[in-house]
């Protein structure tokens, strides 16, 4: 993640901002981490100013802060002024220049050409230099050493080096000669996603319902939360995830009021969200949270309030919805629910069972790259990220945040391998029977 000191170095407007030891509220921590920025060193004022600045940069078409950091590492002057559309070209040019400098620094002499050319190809592959251009330049270096380049051998060496570098993508560093090169940040790849789901069949909402431990189509929002929490747990529910406005729902025991959140199923709100990790329901007062809108600094959602770092959210802004759903069904994670976002596609909640925020981050890390390459939003892989609340209407789009799948005690068995609880058409048979014949006599024996 980008540190406070790196922000000061990359953005001239923040050079005079002082470092702070103040603890930020969870929303600001979540938003900073979602943009790849470590919250350490920021106070609330500096964090809010930075987030506004980054939004203004986005509207102006400038590169992101992470892109500016990457440009800076390649020695590109004034990286914060580079347009978003020009970043890839700038970095590609810088990588090529760095590779040419590396090639020029090597000893191209008889007796050492085989090793030198292979290391040159390794370095080219790790920097993303075009294989054909790399071969031409290496061939010229061999000629300058008084040898005649053998085309078939060069092509073979290049392919071998590029394949080796490609297979090492998951490694944090790549060693070539005397140079260590940091691996590039993982990015979404539709080809990677397509390969992952290549042997999986499409799955319908009826099939997901039938594979669920509990019915989904008729479950109330409170009934959904009741399945994911323990007695005494509280959950923050809101129609604006950026504010402190909301409802504190509490798991009151085995006989709850499952209709108490039904008023959120309709209404003129953009959507209904909740934070999956339970809180204690206590009201905290913190000086760092004092604002004009909250002069007393009260909060239900500070770090002290979290009682269980149980869940993580998986959502995507880039993967096709149908492929993403297939991927969710193949993951060997304990996915407890899948909810349609009411917009572009489904997202999931999976159980992490961490002991602390730091432990949560540690447990997420091993699978992070795989998930991002499949299409998971990097920003959603944070402990305080919110999720859409099941079976509430998202008035922004006029679509239902439909609960598709619910298995609170998931054990990590991929959804695709779970047996059907009932025939996928059973729910429609029940609907049809109710429409044609009314309630069944075996359920209501008093009816004749």
In this structure, what DSSP letter does residue 376 have? B
pLDDT in tens, 59-106: 888 888 888 888 888 888 888 898 888 888 888 888 888 888 888 888
How many C-beta atoms surround the C-beta of residue 244 within 10 A?
Answer: 17
What is the number of alpha carbons within 13 Å of residue 277 lying toward its C-beta?
27
With a CB cutoff of 8 Å and minimum separation 6, the contacts of 107 are: 116
CA distance 162 to 150: 18
CA distance 136 to 151: 10
Cα–Cα distances in Å, from 312 out to 55, 349, 381? 26, 6, 7
* Bridge partner residues of 351 (DSSP): 311
- Residue holding tokens 């299409």? 375
Domain coordinates in residue numbering, the chain = 4-82, 105-185, 194-437
* Bridge partner residues of 346 (DSSP): 340
Say if residues 162 and 123 touch (Cβ distance below 8 Å).
Answer: no
pLDDT in tens, 213-249: 998 988 999 999 999 999 989 998 988 766 667 888 9
pLDDT category of residue 160 using cuts at 50, 70 and 90: confident
Least confident of 144-148, 170-174, 207-211, 321-325: 170-174
pLDDT in tens, 261-310: 998 888 777 778 898 999 888 888 877 667 776 777 777 777 788 889 99
Helices (H), 128-235: 131-144, 151-167, 190-196, 205-211, 221-228
- In this structure, the chain runs to a length of 448
pTM across the whole model = 0.59
Say if residues 268 and 240 touch (Cβ distance below 8 Å).
Answer: no
Mean pLDDT of the chain: 82
For the record, the structure tokens of 99 come out as: 């590779």
Which of 245, 128, 115, 129 lies closest to 176 in space, CA to CA?
A: 115
């Amino acid at each position: 993640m980008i540190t406070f000191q790196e922000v000061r170095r990359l953005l001239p407007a923040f050079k005079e901002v002082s470092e702070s030891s103040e603890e930020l509220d969870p929303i600001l921590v979540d938003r900073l981490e979602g943009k790849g920025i470590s919250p350490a060193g920021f106070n609330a004022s500096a964090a809010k100013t930075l987030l506004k600045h980054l939004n203004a940069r986005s509207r102006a078409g400038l590169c992101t802060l992470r892109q500016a950091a990457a440009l800076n590492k390649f020695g590109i002057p004034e990286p914060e002024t580079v347009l978003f559309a020009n970043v890839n070209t700038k970095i590609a040019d810088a990588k090529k220049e760095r590779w040419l400098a590396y090639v020029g620094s090597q000893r191209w002499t008889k007796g050492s050409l085989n090793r030198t050319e292979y290391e040159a190809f390794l370095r080219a592959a790790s920097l993303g230099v075009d294989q054909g251009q790399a071969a031409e330049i290496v061939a010229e270096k061999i000629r300058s050493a008084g040898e005649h380049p053998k085309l078939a051998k060069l092509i073979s060496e290049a392919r071998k080096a590029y394949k080796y570098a490609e297979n090492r993508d998951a490694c944090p560093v790549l060693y070539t000669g005397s140079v260590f090169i940091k691996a590039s940040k993982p990015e979404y790849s539709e080809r990677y996603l397509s390969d992952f789901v290549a042997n999986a069949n499409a799955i319908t909402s009826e099939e997901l319902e039938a594979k669920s431990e509990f019915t989904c189509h008729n479950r109330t929002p409170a009934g959904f939360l009741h399945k994911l929490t323990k007695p005494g747990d509280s959950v923050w529910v809101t129609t604006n995830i950026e504010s402190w406005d909301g409802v504190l729902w509490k798991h009151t025991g085995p006989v709850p009021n499952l209709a108490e959140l039904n008023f959120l199923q309709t209404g003129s709100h953009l959507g209904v969200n909740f934070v999956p990790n339970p809180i204690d329901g206590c009201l905290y007062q913190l000086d760092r949270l004092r604002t004009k809108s909250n002069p007393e600094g009260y909060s239900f959602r500070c770090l002290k309030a979290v009682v269980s770092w149980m869940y993580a959210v998986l959502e995507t802004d880039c993967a096709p919805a149908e492929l993403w759903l297939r991927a969710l069904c193949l993951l060997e994670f304990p996915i407890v629910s899948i909810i349609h976002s009411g917009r572009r596609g489904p997202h999931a909640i999976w159980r992490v069972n961490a002991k602390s925020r730091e432990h949560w981050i540690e447990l997420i890390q091993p699978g992070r790259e795989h998930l991002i390459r499949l299409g998971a939003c990097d920003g959603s892989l944070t402990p305080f990220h919110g999720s859409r609340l099941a079976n509430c209407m998202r008035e922004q789009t006029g679509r239902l945040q439909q609960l598709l799948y619910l298995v609170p005690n998931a054990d990590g068995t991929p959804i695709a391998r779970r047996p059907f609880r009932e025939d996928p058409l059973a729910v429609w048979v029940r609907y049809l029977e109710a429409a044609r014949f009314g309630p069944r006599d075996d359920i209501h024996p008093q009816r004749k």
